[in-house]
Every structure is written in structure tokens, then in C-alpha cells.
């Protein structure tokens, strides 16, 4: 039917950023916020900016997300919650 919501996500490890492009499609998302979980970023991600503004990073036990992470060397994972706006979202650390 052609009604969809798509947001391209680019990971740029060299420049330490993630770009979430403007959504395309005619579907309007019912999700007001997005929670991003960062696996393997503990040593390099000490602070985070979303569209240039500092945001608080949260540390959560990995087992809260997936039981298989309980056997992982990463006992805690970093996470952030951002507004699901219709604009481009740039996360930089």
C-alpha cells in the first residue's frame, strides 16, 4: 500500500558519530522516543551529544536487555533515550 516509515542509520566510527536521517514514507510513527543501546562502547563513549546538545548516558546491566549478555564480558551497557523527531538526529561522542 506504500505507507511506510523508514529512517536510514549511518555509523561513522572514525568520526565517532551515528547519523539517523530524516524519516521517509507517509506512515506517522507512534513512537515518541527512541532508546539506543550501545554494546562495546564503554571504553570510548564517555559523553554524548545529540544534535549538538549534551545528553545523559545511562548504564544498565546487560542482562536487562538480553539474557545471553549475562555470559558476555560487557556486564553493563550504555543507553540513551532521544526524542523521535522528524528531523535528522546526530549522535556524537
Mean pLDDT by 10 residues, the chain (93 residues): 92 98 96 94 93 95 65 76 98 98
**Cβ proximity of 9 and 91 under 8 Å:** no
The predicted model scores a pTM of 0.83
Does residue 1 sit within a domain? no
User: How many domains does one find in the chain?
Assistant: 1
The pLDDT value recorded for residue 40 is 87
pLDDT at residue 72, rounded to an integer: 55
Count of CA atoms in the C-beta half-sphere (13 A) of 49: 7
**How far, in Å, CA of 76 to CA of 38, rounded?**
10
Residue 84 lies in a domain: yes
Is residue 19 within 8 Å of residue 9, measured between CB atoms?
yes
Query: Could you tell me the residue range of the domain that residue 72 belongs to?
Result: 9-92
Amino acid at each position: 500500500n506504500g505507507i511506510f516509515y523508514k529512517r536510514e542509520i549511518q555509523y561513522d566510527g572514525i568520526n565517532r558519530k551515528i547519523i539517523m536521517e530524516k524519516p521517509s514514507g507517509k506512515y506517522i510513527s507512534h513512537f515518541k522516543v527512541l532508546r539506543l543501546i550501545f554494546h562495546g562502547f564503554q571504553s570510548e563513549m564517555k559523553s554524548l551529544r545529540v544534535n549538538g546538545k549534551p545528553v545523559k548516558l545511562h548504564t544498565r546491566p546487560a542482562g536487562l536487555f538480553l539474557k545471553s549478555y549475562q555470559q558476555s564480558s560487557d556486564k553493563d551497557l550504555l543507553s540513551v533515550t532521544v526524542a523521535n523527531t522528524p528531523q535528522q538526529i546526530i549522535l556524537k561522542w
